[in-house]
Structure formats: structure tokens, C-alpha cells
Amino acid sequence: MKFLVAFALLITLCAALPANLVPGDNSHYVEGESRYIWMSDGDGVPHLVDLHAPVDHSVLNSRNGANNQYWLFTRNNRNNHQLLIHNDGNSVRNSHYSGNRPLKVVVHGWNSNGNSDSSVIVRDAFLDVSDCNVIVVDWRGLANGLYTTAVNGVPGIGQHLGDFLNWLISNHGGNWNNVHLVGFSLGSHVVGNAGRQSGRRASRITGLDPAGPQWGNNGNALNGNDGIYVEAIHTDGGLLGIYDPIGNSNFYPNGGRNPQPGCSISTCSHGRANEFFASTIRTNHLVGRQCSSLTEVANNQCTGSSLNMGNAILTKRGSGLYRVNTGSSWPF
């Protein structure tokens, strides 16, 4: 009898698994229905994720936003971070932080850390073009567990980040008009929550292919009210990323879905958002045309006004849907 039960469970599990187990290939995935999906870590390596896995509350309670690490990089310490500690003024006074510089905050996604490629490529681009403070948020303790657990922990990670930024700027200088929050995948929703927690004062928030699984109709997702100007760049919509417009401006490179030029799998398309954004910080050359609908986006029929995608301009403003056509390799 026990054998029959175990066999039945095995059959059920196999039926739920994607028929095509090519790492990173999510062609099997149906949004809101499929149990399994390939997700990339911050270095682009695919991992098979069970979206029905129960939340591990012990991890959620022990590895929350109080464990966030805030790594400061400036042109004086480009490659070796200085640790800023919330409510520890000496950690800031003994660092290269300057309230007179613009502040960029970079947040990684699932199964990543502050040294992951997704964060480093953006951090280095900012420092190459401007004398600024870059704070990379490392929340690996929660991010590197089950995806379902990480999703449930995102609000707390963001709220602690928001509280830290309030403390930092209030006590050690800075100007919210010079603050730009950037998050990749789950990190997009982290910066959304940080924006809300800090009074929606950040001049810019950029979501790089905001995570899609378990974020549809989720009140904790990034939205256009989280900062003064919120921009989303969608590159793997309907799979690893959200396809629906959630920012003030929503950019859809090459239609916003997999495959992006030069990619053959979903995980590659997801990570393209970081590369596109880093490239625009350096050269500001990718220009979108406004679209009246997502149908126009998909069919490459957009003929409206122009707005540059990405870049680091703190006073940038805009709204609507934009399609951008890119090349298949750097600088795109």
C-alpha cells in the first residue's frame, strides 16, 4: 500500500514537472498555472524553482531586513566596499560617503548577493560616468533560500532599506532629489517597498524586469506611486518578469518578451534588463517610441513621441508605454 502511495506521488510530481528540462527554457510555463519555472541567479545561471514550495517561516523570521548589509562604493573605493550600519554614525563618518554626491542604491534579486554580476554591472556603470555614492544592498540571507520564502520577505527587506535611507540622509547629509533606487527582478519590488517606506521621495526608481511569478495582483509589487518617477524595463514579460505596465514609464525592448536578440532562453532575456540599463547609463543611446497599447508594442507599430530608456538622469520624467529596438550584443 505504501509503495502504491509513493508511486502515485511520484507520478503526480513527474506530471507537474516541465516536459522540456532544458535549463533556462521556460517555454512550458503558463503564468498563474505552472508549478515549476527556471529562474536565473544574479550571474545568469538557471535553477529549477517550485512555485508551490511552502514558505519557510523560520528562515523568514531569522533572515529578515534587519540582516540587510549596505555596501558603499565610491570612486575612492571602487572595488572594496565599506559597510554602512544602520544607526551606527561612525560607520558613515569613517567611510567615503558624502551627502553632496548623488546617491544610487542597487538591489539584487533571488539567489544572488551584492557581488553578483547583475549588481556589479550597474554599480560600475554609475561610477564610470559620475562621482556618486553607490550603495549595493546585500540581502543574500533571505534571497538565497526558497523563492517562495524570498517573495514573502521582500516587503520587510524593502521597509528596512527605506528606514536606513531615511536615517542616512537625515543624519549624514543627502538630498532626495539626488536619490535613484534600482532593483533587478525581486530587487525591483524591494526598491518599491523602500520607496514607500521612505515617503515616496526618491527622485527615480528603476525596476529591471520586475519579477513576475507570484507578483500578479500583489499589493507589495513595485508601482508608479513608489517614487517621484518610476520606470520599468520589461525584457522577459509573462515568464520571469511582469509584462503589464507597473511604472510611470514602461519600456519594452524588442517587445518585452523572450527571446531577446542574442538570447535563446528565458533566463538570458531576464538578465538583459541589467545589461540594457548599464549600457544606457554609459551612453544614453536606446530610444523608445510611445505606443498606444501593448498590441502596438508586440507588433512593433509604435509611432508616438520619443523617450530614452534607462540612463542616470535624475530629473528624467515621462509616462506611458514605449517600445525600444536593440541590437543583440553590447552596447546593444
Which among 232, 222, 217, 185 has a CA at the least distance from the CA of 200? 222
Interatomic CA distance for residues 276 and 253, integer angstroms: 9
286: left (phi over 0), alpha (psi -120 to 50) or beta: beta
pLDDT for res 245: 98
pLDDT for res 7: 39
The pLDDT profile of the chain, 332 residues, written as one tens digit per residue, is 444 433 343 344 444 566 567 999 999 999 999 999 999 999 999 999 999 999 999 999 999 999 999 999 999 999 999 999 999 999 999 999 999 999 999 999 999 999 999 999 999 999 999 999 999 999 999 999 999 999 999 999 999 999 999 999 999 999 999 999 999 999 999 999 999 999 999 999 999 999 999 999 999 999 999 999 999 999 999 999 999 999 999 999 999 999 999 999 999 999 999 999 999 999 999 999 999 999 999 999 999 999 999 999 999 999 999 999 999 999 99
pLDDT for res 9: 39
Residue 193 CA neighbour count, 13 Å, CB half? 25
Contact between 158 and 189 under an 8 Å Cβ cutoff? The reply is yes
**Cα angle: 143, vertex 232, 119; to 5 degrees:** 40
Task: Cell 534588463: give the residue.
Answer: 273
pLDDT for res 103: 98
pLDDT for res 18: 62
Please report the domains of the chain, with CATH numbers, ordered by start residue. Answer: 23-324 (3.40.50.1820)
pLDDT for res 21: 78
Contact between 217 and 193 under an 8 Å Cβ cutoff? The reply is no
pLDDT for res 12: 43
pLDDT for res 20: 60
Quickly list H helices, 55-146.
57-62, 89-93, 117-129, 140-143
pLDDT for res 17: 61
Interatomic CA distance for residues 40 and 240, integer angstroms: 9
Tell me how far CA of residue 196 lies from CA of 181, 189, 193, 240, in angstroms: 12, 11, 5, 24
